[in-house]
Amino acid sequence: MKWYLNSYIVLIILIVCSVVDLLVGTINVFDKNVDWNTLLLEIRVPKTLTAISAGGMLSLSGLVLQMLFRNPLAGPYVLGISSAASLFTAIGIMSAGALSFTWLYQIQISVLSVIGGMIGMLLILMVLRISSNNTVVLIIGLMLSQLYGAIMSVLSYLSSAQALKVYTIWTMGNIQNTDLLQALFLFLLGVVALVVIIRFTKFFMIYITGEVEAQVMGLSVKRNKKILIVIVGVIVGLITAFCGPIAFVGMCIPIVVRILHNSANIRLWMLHSFMYGSVSVVITDIINQVIFNGSVPLNVLISLWGVPLIIWILIHHWRMMERGM
């Protein structure tokens, strides 16, 4: 195993990056006049925990989708799942009383976002029942994303100026919208999701060879698919509700993990997808704080490294296919 794929080293990198993320920012934590309790517990700790949770869960859900659809380009953003969750979140934000930021409002947004994510996932599975062609599934996923975007544009046009402002800021992606309890909830949810999905390792090891083989081995393919749909829908929906639609992480990181790791160790793929995803978002936030004083939207910075990475992945994959590897 190569050194950079050692789980303990990746974990150490994640811990170091998290500590750095806590220390950097517009306010110097070592200033004597700084209230540590307010700065760390109310601002920076929730932000870092949210970055870890968002990156980890989106990357993990992307890996699940790629194995479930047997397509390396599958992901919450590409297949329209994030867009469906965004649409339902937009409905919540722009509905009556949505501008009152209370616990009831957050529950409303979270529930709607989860429902949207699950509906988006179910629509893709319905497409798969009609056609198993990966290209068709990806194209329809992209078309559904455009449809959701068009509906959101109509809602934006009909909404009030204040609701539109809240929605526009939300779409840019932000990991600073959570308090400590919400961040802890997301972090615990991420840990639980990782543990639960790892329990599907045996299923995926057989499923990626073909559904028929999985059924012959006595595995309930439909039942496991339904459970995974619910898990991915909840993960994507909640992250979208709290952080906005975050692109590229769910598609890029799992592919990078699979390229770096030569063996088909699915359990390790899951663990490293979660940790690499967390590291990617935390490092993105560090860059934002150090260079831009935290003023640049999260999605902008993720796109700056996500797009070149996708291009590199496609070129790498194309060359590998040319060589017959």
Domain holding 308, by residue range, is 248-325
User: How many separate domains does the chain show?
Assistant: 2
Same-domain status, 105 and 220: yes
pLDDT one-digit tens code per residue, 245-295: 888 898 889 988 888 776 778 999 999 999 999 999 999 999 999 999 888
| pLDDT on residue 184 | 96
- Both 252 and 231 in a single domain? no
Same domain, 235 and 274: no
In a domain, 6, yes or no: no
The verdict on residue 164 lying in a domain is yes
pTM: 0.87
Q: How far apart are CA 256 and CA 6, in angstroms?
A: 15
**Same domain assignment for residues 68 and 210:** yes
Specify the CATH number for the domain of residue 128.
1.10.3470.10
Per-residue pLDDT, 181 = 92
Is position 35 within any domain? no
Of 246, 263, 293, the domain-final residue: 246
The answer as to whether 171 is a domain residue is: yes
Q: By C-alpha distance, which of 166, 149, 183, 174 is closest to 300?
A: 174
Helix (H/G/I), strand (E/B), else coil: 84: helix
CA distance 181 to 185: 6
What DSSP line would sit under 29-64, residue for residue? TT-TT--HIIIIIIIIHHHHHHHHHHHHHHHHHHHH
201 plus 255 within the same structural domain:
no
Residues 166 and 225 in one domain: yes
Task: Please indicate, yes or no, if residue 205 is contained in any of the structural domains.
Answer: yes
On whether both 259 and 283 belong to a single domain, the answer is yes
Same domain, 196 and 92: yes
List of the chain residues with pLDDT < 70: 1-5, 96-103, 132, 134, 262, 317, 320-325
Q: How many Å apart are CA 283 and CA 131, to the nearest integer?
A: 39
Domain stop point among 228, 246, 264: 246
Whether residue 265 is found in the same domain as residue 307: yes
Supply the pLDDT for residue 23: 92
Are 126 and 217 within one domain?
A: yes
- Predicted confidence at residue 101, as pLDDT, reads 52
Same domain for 234 and 254?
no
pLDDT at 324: 55
Q: Are residues 240 and 267 in the same domain?
A: no
pLDDT at 261: 79
* Domain final residue, candidates 197, 212, 246: 246
Q: What is the spatial distance between Cα 106 and Cα 100, in angstroms, rounded to a whole number? A: 9
